[in-house]
Structure 1
């Protein structure tokens, strides 16, 4: 990995000298060979014959711990292997030596062996650093006498020519494991390993959970990484025989410096070194999008990033839980519409194109079988659910006899998957077509009768209402009745009074532009939050109705859930799920509470808000602009997951509308986009601007407004832009989380925030692009343009829904950083 990460504007030469000083570098002990007669002490190095690699002691950033490592001889140096990653030396008195029997050992300051390679049983052993980065133990001056090699024990990096996988004879399993953090090369949470179950495939593990898989080898590539075929400078090799199962890669140009790493954030990256620009370029990262993560859509579900929503069911299948499916919770997956009929032999297959084949650890493989034989075998096996070719040329057979899981569709590449269905779900045969037609006629007839009856009833109700003779309307003559179309429950005023102890001050959570918010309880267990429209509120009945009708139609894990309403007598209340951690601003802008929002929590909050906005802008039944996105309108549940709230000012957009103009500018100054605040023009890009402000506030722990000009050079956006242009972007990060941040992620988030607050709406990304940027944490982002600046003093015609102080809405050596690669 790169030892040093560029932060700020220090010259590369100065930074490199810093590395030499901090690492205690001194002259080599004599080329690339280590002998029993001369150990390698701290400050000495081995340099490979072609001067591509160096072996010696180094210290990661922010620690004095010493490790034996191998790094690419580039500037900045890039560590690719660590020996004593679990057992650091605390001072500069360690040494590496090879014993008379060929055992490599590392000794600490107390002359205690802290790492050993194991005995090699050689008569005249030497250790040599090769020009491919491999450190080997062999008999001196005898070719082919290798008994130990570092290539068999990777750290977090796979170099060209290294094997990732199993030696089935010796039982050796070569895998790569991330560093714990940039300052700790100990084995981290993420491991890339070969899975031998079924048809072998590489899997990225997060602890004991599967995070991502490459898909199986199809003779040409791995089915889950079709993009790799575009990169002609790399040759991928996959070997499956009785002795070994492994994957490796080579470069077509042997002078090319390349690496594949699993970094501490769980991203598998393929990178190449550009000598002209002195930097690593990542050309492929996995997982790269939500569909790459394991089983996003459950069993028999299909993930497609070109669709919205991204999950759908295979043909002949339907959601197992329609309600959860509508809520974008796809974990339950799908189920068959019609059970298979193996006994009568009427089942058939539907062929899906450009597919990442389902998890092959659940499959069986016969590499000698033809595809037509594979089909016949699947039909004979009543448990068979699907089949596919083991080789892209049409030979070999993969059969699944369990539920199909982790399927995705690519726009190119992938393979054909043949899914077994009941004949009726394929539309096969005259009998089945006739039966389906008859069912269709019957259902259509019944629906027609019901529709006719419904029209008649509606006419009757209308006439009765005109005469005041509809009994059930007499005691519920309120706006909540209009929510019946969306199945929004209407609460009795007595229930609300009892739940809030008659709106007692002890139950009050806070005050917003809408009015006071109270905590309540329905029955013995269900906690609720109740927004009560104040008679003096700037937001009136229109906003109340707007929020009620909009939220009733919206269902997403990152949007607050409306449970019902009450509009009896003069009361207008909305009942929401209760958010125990209240709103984001109660943590973010409080120095004591801000420490509870560590970097990972803040990143998760940013991602959640982005997902919620994407749903509003693109994925919901309505196309909605929120218009009042701010920290106090982001509520946090018990696990600190964010939920967007307060839709009183939201507006619905038609599909053909891109922007609207209003004379009545509403929202909160400081979060408004310039075109909206000044000209009343709003669009989805207005929400993107507000999101960008929120991102910068979440990173800094500071408000965009309410700060002195001398401290922030105008406002937070101006301050962030100034730091960014000076190359000091990380100075923006809240001091309370400076020890927990990922510098790469923080820099990318600051850059993303600045992209969102660019002055011109057309320059700002869409929320779909934002979600993709956040999903691929190591993606390269474009450079932002100047933010939209405008005076911090509100114009008279701008209405603000600014909350009071106690508001509670319903809930990466370019510098000196060492990273394990």
Structure 2
């Protein structure tokens, strides 16, 4: 700490007394000179009234900061904080310029923060309309090279237009973004966005010391891993690399447009633009946005494709390194070569629409063309791949990789060409006569073997058909069930050939042994589909087995639907289907085992609900949201779940949520927005009004169910069966009334502990109420929901009246298997729901 001399202390004391006597005295609008200071309730304002600098406090009254914010935005948005990791204990601080240095002192004259420069003859500090606080000589203009110091060189969590993100190599310092610790806490958080200038420069999002996301290198037009980064009339993206500096920036042509890039406390990158008409920040872009954005999702040489199922695949000439985990849809071990390389005889596999692999150890020559690049890579036996460094004008420059290729991704549109070194024998070569002869021989042999296999299969099929004809109708349908599932997948995939199900087929004896003959001790629960049992395979893996009840009228269709859908889905917040069994009249699904079972068994259990502190509840809400977003938008199919509820959310050993039970799910076409059904399936308390009343369902039906889940997770109460003690309102009605009366925090479950942050709880309640609004068109999409949950600064609209049931009902069970009719009122409109699932 720096202690000010007695002379300075006297000057400060006199200055403070002077300001006490004349409290209305103000300083120059945008400039601070050596004879001026700023204290509480005084600010600097940029010349165009765009930005303002001053003292502020957030959730903790004993923590004060000096920062910069947008002046004319109602919901104050901070873009820079001077003393983010060293707050003042109260508002009695002073911000001043002395000897060319900016100082922040507390009431005891102790140094809290400084710009840490020692140069300047007659300096002044000025706040510019760009949001940059600069120190410059008084007799100079605002040219950047005349700045003695600028806040743009020391960013916090926000990148503003014309602000550089990256390295000043001559000065040896790095400009990078670091998230806030929490919404109300501007101290340095766990997430940072840093440019690595080595090799072929690119930017990484870090979670402490772990890479979370990678932009890919700059290819002349955009970052290789951001194909949606296309030229826009009002935004220009810039990337500069030379011997003095390497940095990224963006510029805005229309100065009235406000745009910023932030790293929020939950580790999401967001570009936001201010919309004056709605008085809110509009999410323009965010990352990571899907499973393939996770760094190294498919390991070395593995290619991630979010449009495929599973998302990980090996390129030609490679195979999974760990086939067992690969079959379980864990591709993190990556791929290995089938054939060893032979240097000068090797060829190159041409991959298109690729995100280039991690490039920090690559070699770059911007003067080469692609032919010279290939020749250089061929001569270097360590070279594993090559590509153009710039894709403009047909492609120029050369990038060469000599290590394993990490974090590969393929897009349907965007990306660029990548040439991967491969053994010549792993590539087709039609120009070689010997190879052609060998190829013809191999093909003939394969055809002969195929013919033999077909004859054998045909004989078995005839025998099997004869056996099936001898069985009853139910037994015949069970034997043919899997074939029906595979054939019907053709209709949903939209492909000319039905998809192959990468699914293990278990025999009945294996599952019976694993579950101790389906003993009651192994029984985990029971639902409309049948019973669920815990089991352990011979190799030691724990499983959960869902056994279809023989008396279930809907079971066959549920079984086919679940196999058809979930076998092709892969997401960290969806339960993983390991395999199935269909023998005679037995139908079973085998899942990964979830240690904490279903959400309702913990959330609504007084003895176990204390396991869910607020942070876990918030993580569960966000995880469910990401899973639904994947179903609605990012999966291979567009899927409406139709039965989202607490009992269909499973929790693993770390309380991570997994959406389960896809028996009632429906696939939508690419341009389909909604559908209608005569059979209402689902669970009372979670169904949207338009679905319960008219059988009309869409993605917004799932949004409604999610909103109910959010309010249940926050409150620890069931929507169905919960009534406020002083009224006939159910949970949605009670939450709506509490919100309107400003008593939202009273909803939080007492077992969630007292370490929650009020703004986070209120944000979840507001999101929940927005999702359960009566009109489907008023509800947000799940992409908007995910952004609202992960954004510290997004302005959300106020919710309208929710669609909820009024009037106590004597039917207390919330089982989805109930066959009784139920009458309820949805905003005064009575509806009778039949065929309840």
Tell me, yes or no, whether TM beats 0.5: yes
Match of 1:386 in 2: 385
Match of 1:746 in 2: 764
Match of 1:350 in 2: 350
The one-character-per-residue Cα deviations of 1:427-486 (angstroms, maximum 9, x if unpaired) are 332444443343233223223323322443455577789999xxxxxxx99989989995
SS in 2 for 1:443: helix
Match of 1:47 in 2: 45
- Mapped partners of 2:629, 2:260: distance in 1: 35
- Mapped partners of 2:678, 2:477: distance in 1: 29
SS in 1 for 2:332: coil
Residue 265 and residue 530 in structure 1: after superposition, are their counterparts in 2 closer, same or farther (change >3 A)? closer
Q: State the shift of 1:180 in Å.
A: 0.9
Residue 779 and residue 266 in structure 1: after superposition, are their counterparts in 2 closer, same or farther (change >3 A)? same
Match of 2:105 in 1: 107
Q: 1:158-177 counterparts in 2 under 5 A? A: 158-177=159-178
Q: 1:419-430 counterparts in 2 under 5 A? A: 419-423=420-424, 425-430=426-431
Q: 1:566-715 counterparts in 2 under 5 A? A: 578-590=593-605, 593-594=608-609, 596-598=611-613, 601-606=616-621, 608-609=623-624, 628-645=643-660, 650=664, 667-672=682-687, 690-708=705-723, 714-715=729-730
- Mapped partners of 2:415, 2:320: distance in 1: 25
Match of 1:450 in 2: 453
Q: Is the Cα contact below 8 Å between 2:515 and 2:535 reproduced in 1?
A: no
- Quick check: 781-790 or 192-201, which moved more? 781-790
Match of 1:20 in 2: none
Match of 1:91 in 2: 90
- Mapped partners of 1:681, 1:275: distance in 2: 35
Q: Identify which of structures 1 and 2 has the higher relative contact order when contacts are C-alpha pairs closer than 8 Å and 6+ apart.
A: 1
Q: State the shift of 1:107 in Å.
A: 2.1
Match of 2:551 in 1: 540
Match of 1:819 in 2: none
Q: Is the Cα contact below 8 Å between 2:348 and 2:419 reproduced in 1?
A: no
Residue 774 and residue 280 in structure 1: after superposition, are their counterparts in 2 closer, same or farther (change >3 A)? closer
The one-character-per-residue Cα deviations of 1:611-635 (angstroms, maximum 9, x if unpaired) are 7668889999999986654212322
Q: Is the Cα contact below 8 Å between 2:283 and 2:787 reproduced in 1?
A: no
The one-character-per-residue Cα deviations of 1:706-764 (angstroms, maximum 9, x if unpaired) are 12277676544455667789999888665747527637963674267337x7569xx98
Q: State the shift of 1:112 in Å.
A: 2.2
- Mapped partners of 2:798, 2:326: distance in 1: 38
Match of 2:438 in 1: 435
SS in 2 for 1:177: strand
Q: State the shift of 1:59 in Å.
A: 0.7
- Mapped partners of 2:322, 2:780: distance in 1: 34
Match of 1:471 in 2: none
SS in 1 for 2:441: helix
Q: What TM-score do the two structures reach when normalised by structure 2?
A: 0.74
The one-character-per-residue Cα deviations of 1:14-57 (angstroms, maximum 9, x if unpaired) are xxxxxxxxxxx965334444444444333333334444333221
- Mapped partners of 1:291, 1:572: distance in 2: 33
Match of 2:4 in 1: none
- Mapped partners of 1:231, 1:622: distance in 2: 30
Q: 1:371-410 counterparts in 2 under 5 A? A: 371-391=370-390, 392-393=392-393, 394-410=395-411
SS in 2 for 1:580: coil
Among 55, 72, 75, the alignment partner of 1:74 is 72
The one-character-per-residue Cα deviations of 1:108-159 (angstroms, maximum 9, x if unpaired) are 2333222233241445554333443333334454667643322221112223
Q: State the shift of 1:399 in Å.
A: 1.5
SS in 2 for 1:216: coil
- Quick check: 188-197 or 636-645, which moved more? 636-645
Q: Is the Cα contact below 8 Å between 2:290 and 2:634 reproduced in 1?
A: no
- Quick check: 213-222 or 452-461, which moved more? 452-461
Q: State the shift of 1:184 in Å.
A: 1.3
- Mapped partners of 1:189, 1:592: distance in 2: 33
Q: Is the Cα contact below 8 Å between 2:345 and 2:423 reproduced in 1?
A: no
- Quick check: 446-455 or 514-523, which moved more? 514-523
Residue 787 and residue 308 in structure 1: after superposition, are their counterparts in 2 closer, same or farther (change >3 A)? farther
- Mapped partners of 2:146, 2:781: distance in 1: 59
Q: CA RMSD in A?
A: 5.0
- Mapped partners of 1:114, 1:773: distance in 2: 34
SS in 2 for 1:742: helix
Q: Is the Cα contact below 8 Å between 1:721 and 1:754 reproduced in 2?
A: no
Q: Is the Cα contact below 8 Å between 2:49 and 2:72 reproduced in 1?
A: no
- Mapped partners of 1:242, 1:61: distance in 2: 44
Match of 2:505 in 1: 487
Q: Is the Cα contact below 8 Å between 1:528 and 1:577 reproduced in 2?
A: yes
Q: State the shift of 1:589 in Å.
A: 2.7
- Mapped partners of 1:589, 1:166: distance in 2: 52
Q: Is the Cα contact below 8 Å between 1:490 and 1:564 reproduced in 2?
A: no
Q: State the shift of 1:406 in Å.
A: 2.8
Residue 752 and residue 160 in structure 1: after superposition, are their counterparts in 2 closer, same or farther (change >3 A)? same
Q: 1:42-441 counterparts in 2 under 5 A? A: 42-76=40-74, 77-100=76-99, 102-141=100-139, 146-254=147-255, 256-274=257-275, 278-307=279-308, 310-321=311-322, 324-325=325-326, 327-336=328-337, 338-344=339-345, 347-353=347-353, 355-391=354-390, 392-393=392-393, 394-410=395-411, 412-423=413-424, 425-431=426-432, 432-441=435-444
- Mapped partners of 1:727, 1:434: distance in 2: 81
SS in 1 for 2:366: strand
- Mapped partners of 1:799, 1:129: distance in 2: 60
Q: State the shift of 1:414 in Å.
A: 3.7
Residue 456 and residue 688 in structure 1: after superposition, are their counterparts in 2 closer, same or farther (change >3 A)? farther
Q: Is the Cα contact below 8 Å between 2:770 and 2:779 reproduced in 1?
A: no
SS in 1 for 2:230: helix
Residue 709 and residue 277 in structure 1: after superposition, are their counterparts in 2 closer, same or farther (change >3 A)? closer
The one-character-per-residue Cα deviations of 1:227-248 (angstroms, maximum 9, x if unpaired) are 4434222333322121211222
Q: State the shift of 1:286 in Å.
A: 3.3
- Mapped partners of 1:493, 1:295: distance in 2: 35
Alignment: residue pair count: 755
Residue 340 and residue 766 in structure 1: after superposition, are their counterparts in 2 closer, same or farther (change >3 A)? farther
- Mapped partners of 1:628, 1:715: distance in 2: 20
The one-character-per-residue Cα deviations of 1:765-810 (angstroms, maximum 9, x if unpaired) are 99899889989999999999876656778899x995469xxxxxxx
Match of 1:559 in 2: 575
Q: Is the Cα contact below 8 Å between 1:300 and 1:313 reproduced in 2?
A: yes
Q: What TM-score do the two structures reach when normalised by structure 1?
A: 0.76
Q: State the shift of 1:670 in Å.
A: 2.4
SS in 2 for 1:92: coil
Structure 1: 5+ residue stretches without partners:
1-24, 469-475, 804-821
- Quick check: 710-719 or 198-207, which moved more? 710-719
